[in-house]
């Protein structure tokens, strides 16, 4: 995703995608489209993000180093606010996405889209309670609206 200028308002959205250990994920253009839909829907102006797909072992290491949790996570996001810009990193574990997809009986692609959206919302400053109560949060409802919109091709 590049940058775009319109009049006095400058919009810059740069999304980089990488694969570090698990390439059985969404294609980079799909990830950029999903993130772009959320950034557009949230009217995010200056946003620079990376989305990295990690193996379960690498995700476990990141989770242990960052949060002292010795297990893989499905998604981890870091927000790095700076003036009017938002910088962020989203890490997604396709192996965990596959487990969740089986558990919740949804397609793996849908679960990967959900995790990319979830991480993007965290980068934009949204949060939710820990544990199972998170599914009743406003962030979760917003996330699910984006999942439906992105999959149907409709604008959020």
**CATH number of 76's domain:** 3.40.390.30
Q: Enter the pTM of the model.
A: 0.89
The C-alpha atoms of residue 89 and residue 13 are separated, in whole angstroms, by 14
Taking residue 54's Cβ as centre, other Cβ atoms within 10 Å add up to 27
Top mean pLDDT of 22-26, 45-49, 82-86 is at 45-49
Average the pLDDT over 107-128 and give the result: 94
Q: Does residue 121 fall inside a structural domain?
A: yes
Better pLDDT: 45 or 91: 91
Name the percent of the chain lying above pLDDT 70: 88
Q: Which pLDDT band, with edges at 50, 70 and 90, does 156 fall under?
A: low
Asked if the structure places residue 82 within a domain, the reply is yes
User: Number of folded domains in the chain?
Assistant: 1
Q: Give the distance, in angstroms, between the CA of residue 94 and the centroid of all CA atoms in the same chain.
A: 12
Q: What is the dihedral of CA 89, 90, 94, 96, to 10 degrees?
A: 120
pLDDT at residue 17 is higher than 60: yes
Q: Do the Cβ atoms of 149 and 37 come closer than 8 Å?
A: yes
Range of the domain at 64: 3-151
pLDDT score of 155: 59
Reported in sequence order, the residue ranges of the chain that DSSP labels E, i.e. its strands, are: 3-6, 9-20, 46-54, 75-82, 85-92
Spatial distance between the Cα atoms of 49 and 78, rounded to a whole number of angstroms: 10
Q: pLDDT-derived band of residue 22, with 50, 70 and 90 as boundaries?
A: low
User: Average pLDDT in the 104-117 region?
Assistant: 96
User: pLDDT value at position 10?
Assistant: 59
User: For residue 156, is it within any domain?
Assistant: no
Q: Is the pLDDT of residue 53 over 80?
A: yes
């Amino acid at each position: 995703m590049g940058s775009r200028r319109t009049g006095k308002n400058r919009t810059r959205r740069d999304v980089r995608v990488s694969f570090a250990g698990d390439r059985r994920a969404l294609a980079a253009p799909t990830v950029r489209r999903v993130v772009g839909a959320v950034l557009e829907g949230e009217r995010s102006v200056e946003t620079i993000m990376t989305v990295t797909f990690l193996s379960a072992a690498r995700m476990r290491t990141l989770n242990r180093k960052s949060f002292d949790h010795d297990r893989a996570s499905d998604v981890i996001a870091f927000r790095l606010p700076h003036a009017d810009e938002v910088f962020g990193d989203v890490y997604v574990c396709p192996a965990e996405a596959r487990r969740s997809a089986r558990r919740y009986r949804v397609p793996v692609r849908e679960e990967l889209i959900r995790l990319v959206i979830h991480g993007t919302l965290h980068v934009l400053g949204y949060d939710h309670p820990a544990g199972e109560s998170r599914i009743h949060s406003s962030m979760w409802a917003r996330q699910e609206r984006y999942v439906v919109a992105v999959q149907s091709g409709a604008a959020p």
